[in-house]
A and B are shown apart, each in its own frame.
Chain A
Amino acid sequence: DGGITQSPKYLFRKEGQNVTLSCEQNLNHDAMYWYRQDPGQGLRLIYYSQIVNDFQKGDIAEGYSVSREKKESFPLTVTSAQKNPTAFYLCASSKQDNSYEQYFGPGTRLTVT
């Protein structure tokens, strides 16, 4: 393993607080992705970025925000507007060479009470 890291592994927050999840990669990949994984619902795409300083909404972007100021980093902020923030969050990266192979991080489990 290695190459793409997420921290922390577990995160606890009170309702109403924004929280930022970290994702870093040293694979020199241009593209990065954030997914949410809920039991029985598979992976759902939150945001993705194909190049620095650019990103697009995925299928469930409401209540989330991202930035892509550096190639290596793609932090995700879960805002207080996200109605059901408790979930497992996965970050991934890929080359932009039409192979589309994504390399996944270990994930962050966020619990909001």
Chain B
Amino acid sequence: AQRVTQPEKLLSVFKGAPVELKCNYSYSGSPELFWYVQYSRQRLQLLLRHISRESIKGFTADLNKGETSFHLKKPFAQEEDSAMYYCALWGDTNAGKSTFGDGTTLTVKP
């Protein structure tokens, strides 16, 4: 079975402060991990994926297989980062089956 846990439902930081959204997963094989974001009144969209190892909008995420984590980080939060963030997993077996976490609502205060 595959499982994704986002322990924080709500996260609030001040503008300019560092932010970390936590994601832990459970999967026995080699997972593909992603962060999706949903801004107010917009569709859910891909933010970044671990295989590309890229930084999008200043966010990065490192896959830590030892700790089974894929935390999303940004050194200096901006007000426009306020949104709902979902961590998602695809397994290397049972291809096509995706699992999303419950989401974290990030609020960046001015």
Chain B 67-110, CB-CB to A under 8 Å as 1, else 0, gives 00000000000000000001000100001111111110000000
Q: Are A40 and B102 in contact (CB under 8 A)?
A: yes
Q: Are B101 and A45 in contact (CB under 8 A)?
A: no
- Counting contact residues on chain B (CB < 8 A from A), the size range is 20 to 34
Residue from the set B45, B96, B99, B102 with the largest chain A CB neighbour count within 10 Å:
B96
Q: Are B43 and A1 in contact (CB under 8 A)?
A: yes
Which residue of B9, B98, B103 contacts A48 across the interface (Cβ within 8 Å)? B98
Q: Are A100 and B101 in contact (CB under 8 A)?
A: no
**B56 contacts chain A at the CB level, 8 A cutoff:** no
Which residue of B6, B95, B100, B101 contacts A35 across the interface (Cβ within 8 Å)? B100
- Counting contact residues on chain A (CB < 8 A from B), the size range is 20 to 34
Min CB distance B45 to A, Å, is: 7
Contact of A42 with B44 at beta-carbon distance under 8 Å, contacts A31-B96, A48-B96, A56-B97 already known: no
Q: Which residues on B are within 8 Å of A, measured CB to CB?
A: 6, 9, 32, 34, 36, 43-46, 49, 86, 90, 95-103
